[in-house]
Structure 1
Amino acid sequence: MHKISIIVPVYNVEKYLERCVNSILSQTYENIEIVLVNDGSPDNSPTMCDQYAKVDERVKVIHKENGGLVSAWQAGVRASDGKYLCFVDSDDWVEPDMISEMYAFLSAGNADSMEIPSDKKEIICCNFVIDRFTGDDMSSGQYKVTKHYHELKPGIYEGKQLETDVKDQLLGHENRLVSMSRCMKLFSRRLIEDNMKYCNPDITFGEDVNIVLPALLDCERLVIMEEALFYHYFYNYDSMVHKYDKKLYQGICTLRSVIKEIFEDKKRQNGEMQGDKEYIYLLMFALKNEIRGGRKNYSVKVREICNGNQDIVMTYPVIVGNKINRILYFLLKNPKLIYINVVRFLFRLGDGLHK
């Protein structure tokens, strides 16, 4: 049984950390290493991490200055020893058989001896549920659980099928073929180590694309598990949904540049088209951020984004099914002030209905 390192970035999560770490310690797969990376957390999380390390030898703790999520999981990778890597966010949790079930799908998953190595670069993907919490108090709030699956049909993808059905279709769709989250996946270590050079700590939106995209483009074997709802993604609606990020658009532009670099380095013939279509969908997030942000000059920023990207929007038509995205796509192509104000009104009306 090969060692698997599970890397958990930790920052300001004392309320959720116990649930997360206990779910990992409860894994039925025995040969695991848990790397808790304290990213300069100001709460009691660092002490909790150290306590776990004292009582369980499988836990390794890294303390570092705050540098953001990307720098935290990179530090965890460097400190880990496992042949395979898995990532879990510290406010999420996992089912006890997640690692054992994913390991069984690896090329070496059924090997009886460590002397039977597998150097194949592969990724095993399970599925996830989103636990949406509503309310200010976890004890009195309500959960809404929804199941989520990769768009790609369950199965094992190798050779030509992997190249044409997966790598040529990774980006540029409203719903990505394979989730770009680094979580809910089991990676061959080489895929992560060889591609950390693309990770840009300045990107705070879609940062996982920087590592998952090149890993998927390099992988030789991809497995999409059927059902396998092992990962619980915790989504606190009240704390997350309406935060305005003044750096979001610039971060999206930086992400676009990294995506372009990755496709060029990996020599994907349709990489430019994939990247540009993906950028159009990301622009919809940027518009939503500005319209919902509450700034007085929101319309100026919205028109700046739309007018500055008319060429690419008109060059690469995309298919949009989501109702909100259809409105935002229309706005991208028609950034008139009257339309912007109408969309603002509709968003505020919809947000009010959720309160």
Structure 2
Amino acid sequence: MRMSSYPLISIIIPCYNAELSLSKCLNSVIHQTYCNLEIIIIDDGSTDASAEIYKEFQESDKRIIVIKQSNSGVSRARNMGLKTASGEYICFVDSDDWVEPNYCSTLFDLLAEENSDIAVIEASYEDEEGNVVFNKPISNERVFDGKRALSLLLEDSVIQSHPWGKLYKSKFLKDISFPEDLKSFEDYSTLFKVFDKAIKVVKSNDKLYHYIQRENSLSHNLSPETAYYFYLAIMEVFKFWQATTQIKDQKKITKNIIRKLLMVLKRILRQTPKNEMQQEKENIRKSFKTFLKYPITDIGPEYYFYIRLYYYQPNLYTKLIAKK
């Protein structure tokens, strides 16, 4: 593939203490069949051998740009990558993961063929040995108008709120930044802002991104404090959705938001004594008032009951959750 005949894609790779996975990640990126790449590695204050690894790659591949910053979190790393990127298109890869050789070419072809604003591919969710640990729902829909794609993103099923596995026209990421005050789930509270700008989105079911779930990942170790960050991200999504009037499938979105809120609440209540995180628990309780307006036909009897029980009788709800 001739570099001069295709537009530049900027691949942004946040990196923090990724010595165990970085070589495989970078090998997969530099061997893309789409060659006109700008590979931006943001070293977020790594203290392991990550620097030795990416310096070796940089010596043999001039497309690699390294930006160093003090440890400030993945949001600031991604934001720094966006500021540095000069490509017409933006793509993300996490340093824990790796991609198939046709990752970028497939995304670009999808986007170009349909004249879309965002292209999406599927991922294989694997453990460190390469075993598939999760299969997400697959849809046969291929092309979506912006509102349909946004609706699916808010449902968080067919299209999910990961920055990776997607190719964006760079103009859609202007004036958008990942929230640096959230220590986790920053992508969940960001991607809907990008999709809200899109007029057309295209998707392939090809699994070209390998998402590696490690034992020390957030999904395995969701602490009460981390769960509360997820709560904040969920509520930001909910506030956005409430201000958007053109989205269909509102029942599915509402149920998905309530499901996530109850999951967060359960994690916090089960893992903290009564006298810990009192303000956070009260904030969640108060926010449930907004969901009292939804009828049982919209959210189902279980969510209808739990929302009311925690809002009116939080102590009783806590005892009920503790027994399950």
> TM-score scaled by structure 1?
0.75
1:246 counterpart SS class: helix
- Structure 1 range deviating more: 241-250 or 300-309: 300-309
| 1:36-47 alignment, distance < 5 Å | 36-47=41-52
State the Cα distance separating 1:144 from its structure 2 match: 3.1
Are positions 1:193 and 2:193 aligned together? no
Does 2:190 align with 1:211? yes
> For residue 75 of structure 2, what is the aligned residue in structure 1?
70
Aligned counterpart, 2:86: 81
User: Structure 2 residue aligned with 1:166, among 149, 158, 165?
Assistant: 149
Would the aligned equivalents of 1:306 and 1:333 in 2 still touch at CA under 8 Å?
Answer: no
> Per-residue deviation at 1:243?
4.0
Tell me the distance in 1 between the aligned counterparts of 2:307 and 2:279: 12
Aligned residue number for residue 163 of structure 2: 182
Residue 37 of structure 1 aligns to a residue in which SS? strand
1: CA distance, partners of 2:176 / 2:209: 24
Q: Which amino acid aligns with 1:102?
A: L
Is the contact made by 2:126 and 2:134 (CA closer than 8 Å) also made in structure 1? no
Q: Give the equivalent residue in structure 2 for 1:107.
A: 112
Normalised to the residue count of structure 2, the TM-score between the two structures is 0.81
Could you give the per-residue CA deviations for residues 6-58 of structure 1, whole angstroms, max 9, x where no partner exists?
Answer: 10000011111111111111211111111110011121112322222112111
TM alignment of 1:266-277, pairs within 5 A: 268-269=245-246
1:202 maps to a residue whose letter is D
Aligned-partner Cα distance in 1 for 2:276–2:16: 31
Is the 1:150–1:179 contact (alpha carbons within 8 Å) kept by the matching residues of 2?
A: no
Q: CA deviation at 1:149?
A: 5.0
Preserved contact between residue 87 and residue 183 of structure 1 (Cα < 8 Å): yes
Cα pair distance change 1:101/1:72, threshold 3 Å: same
Are 1:313 and 2:300 an aligned pair? no
- After superposition, what is the alpha-carbon deviation per residue over 1:277-329, rounded to whole angstroms, capped at 9, x for unaligned? 665333223224314535565796896366323322322366479xxxx6x88
- Stretches of structure 2 that go unaligned for 5 or more consecutive residues are 1-5
> Could you report, residue by residue, the CA deviation over 1:111-144 in whole angstroms, capped at 9, with x for unpaired residues?
xxxxxxxxx66000000111034xxxxxxxx553
SS in 2 for 1:314: helix
- Give, in whole Å, the separation in 2 of the partners of 1:9 and 1:251: 20
Partner of 1:107, secondary structure, is helix
Matched residue, 1:156: 143
Structure 2 distance, partners of 1:90, 1:72, is 12
C-alpha distance in structure 2 between counterparts of 1:254 and 1:262, whole Å = 12
Distance in 1 of aligned mates of 2:225 and 2:78: 24
Amino acid at match of 1:51: E
Aligned to 1:228, which of 198, 206, 231?
Answer: 206
* Alignment equivalent of 2:20, drawn from 12, 15, 24: 15
Secondary structure of the structure 1 residue equivalent to 2:13:
strand
Which of residues 94, 98, 112 is equivalent to 2:103? Answer: 98
* Distance in 1 (alpha carbons) for counterparts of 2:242 and 2:320: 38
Whole-angstrom CA distance in 2 between matches of 1:239 and 1:73: 19
Native 8 Å contact 1:290 1:301 kept in 2: no
Aligned counterparts of 1:223 and 1:270: Cα–Cα separation in 2: 18
TM superposition shift of 1:4: 0.7
The one-letter amino acid paired with 1:94 is V
Q: Deviation string for 1:259-288 (max 9, x for gaps)?
A: 636875xx64569x7987665333223224
Task: Specify which of 25, 46, 53 is matched with residue 58 of structure 2.
Answer: 53
How many residue pairs match? The answer is: 311
The one-letter code matched in structure 2 to 1:215 is V
- Matched residue SS, 1:57: coil
1:112 matched residue in structure 2: none
**Which has the larger displacement, 235-244 or 91-100?**
235-244
Matched, 1:131 2:126: yes
Distance 1:278 1:200 in 2: 22
Shift of 1:155: 1.4
Partner of 2:260 in structure 1?
282
Is it true that 1:145 corresponds to 2:169 in the alignment? Answer: no
2:63 aligned partner, one-letter code: R
Aligned CA RMSD, in angstroms, stands at 3.3
Task: Verify the 8 A CA contact 2:25 2:98 in the aligned structure 1.
Answer: yes
Q: Output the CA distance in 2 between the equivalents of 1:320 and 1:183.
A: 33
